[in-house]
């Protein structure tokens, strides 16, 4: 596991975008696992800039999104279909048939979740998975107590997650209580994983994920078991790391200079 601490959100976003671009440039038909939420917006903005100004090519890239609220149509402003198209896909040259986002309106959810797993496998697996982290340490919608070997499935969201996400919905609009999510086991099969976290509100969850025991009560802690996992943090999100000085020392003394 590597921990990279940036002074600003913009610096963090650009560092993470370089990691994604490196994967795409080294493998033009790379398979990317993507996340939603406010944290990766800067990453997606930088990827769009790289595409338009530097020719970063997504024409053969395939993507699989982590999750989606159950019951929201793709046109709903808070659906993750809408989010991804508004904030990334509409601005790059990705082929529509290479975009995969969980169906929130499938009739048979169990069958859909199984087919989603098969689609990932058919593409050769995920080369790089982008993650955020919830204030309780969840990745995707793998809430505390989720099995660390779990696969794509429906999850009931915790009250904390509902409260955290309520700000994205209009006043009086109910936050969906169910979501389809890739499982922790699915996520861990990605060849490389990057997790982005910003703000003091994520600091405790981040510290437990990096320095605490591997536990289903903080599903991000499972990344300790992955050989190619990198946490991209701003200073506030790194605020409760006991080993922060050491992580910064490693970063400053990497071959070739700081990351």
- What is the per-residue pLDDT across 173-195, written as a single tens digit (0 to 9) for each? 788 899 999 999 999 999 999 99
Q: In what order do the strands lie in the sheet with 153-156?
A: 67-69, 178-181, 153-156
- How far is 210 from 242, CA to CA, in rounded Å? 10
pLDDT score for 87: 98
Query: Per the structure block, which two tokens stand in for 186?
Result: 């699915």
| pLDDT per residue rounded down to tens, the chain (259 residues) | 999 999 999 999 999 999 999 999 999 999 999 999 999 999 999 999 999 999 999 999 999 999 999 988 899 888 999 999 999 999 999 999 999 999 877 778 889 999 999 999 999 999 999 999 999 999 999 999 999 999 999 999 988 888 888 887 877 778 889 999 999 999 999 999 999 999 999 999 999 999 999 999 999 999 999 999 999 999 999 999 999 999 999 999 987 644 4
Q: Are 199 and 10 in contact (CB under 8 A)?
A: no
pLDDT score for 258: 47
- Enzyme catalytic residues: 67, 136, 138, 143
pTM beyond 0.85: yes
Q: How far is CA 186 from CA 50, 62, 164, 223, in A?
A: 29, 16, 24, 12
Q: Mind giving me the DSSP string for 138-162?
A: -BTTB-TT--TT--SEEEEPPHHHH
Alpha helices in the chain, H assignment, sequence order: 9-26, 41-54, 80-87, 109-122, 159-165, 184-188, 203-211, 244-252
SS3 track for 60-88 = CCEEEECEEECCCCCCCCCCHHHHHHHHC
pLDDT score for 256: 64
Q: Are 39 and 51 in contact (CB under 8 A)?
A: no
196: enclosing H helix or E strand: strand 192-197
- Cβ burial, residue 224 (10 Å; 0-12/13-18/19+): middle
pLDDT score for 199: 97
pLDDT score for 259: 44
Q: Which domains does the chain have, with CATH numbers?
A: 2-252 (3.40.50.1360)
């Amino acid at each position: 596991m590597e921990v990279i601490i940036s002074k600003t959100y913009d610096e963090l976003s650009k560092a993470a975008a370089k990691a994604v671009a490196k994967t795409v440039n080294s493998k033009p038909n790379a398979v990317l696992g993507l996340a939603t939420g406010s944290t990766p917006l800067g990453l997606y903005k930088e990827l769009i800039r790289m595409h338009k100004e530097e020719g970063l090519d997504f024409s053969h890239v395939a993507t699989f999104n982590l999750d989606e609220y159950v019951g929201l149509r793709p046109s709903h402003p808070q659906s993750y279909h809408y989010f991804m198209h508004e904030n990334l896909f509409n601005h790059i040259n990705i082929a529509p048939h290479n975009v995969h986002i969980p169906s929130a309106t499938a009739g048979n959810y169990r069958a859909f979740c199984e087919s989603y797993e098969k689609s990932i496998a058919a593409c050769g697996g995920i080369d790089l998975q982008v993650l955020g982290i919830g204030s309780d340490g969840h990745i995707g919608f793998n809430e505390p107590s989720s099995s660390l070997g779990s696969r794509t499935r429906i999850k009931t969201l915790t009250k904390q997650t509902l409260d955290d996400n309520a700000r994205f919905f209009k006043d009086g609009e109910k936050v969906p209580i169910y979501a389809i999510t890739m499982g922790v086991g699915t996520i861990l099969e990605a060849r490389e994983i990057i997790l982005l976290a910003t703000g003091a509100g994520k600091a405790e969850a981040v510290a437990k994920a990096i320095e605490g025991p591997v536990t289903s009560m903080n599903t991000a802690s499972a990344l300790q078991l992955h050989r190619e996992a990198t946490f991209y943090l701003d200073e506030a999100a790194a605020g409760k790391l006991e080993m922060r000085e050491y992580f910064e020392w490693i970063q400053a003394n990497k071959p070739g200079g700081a990351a």
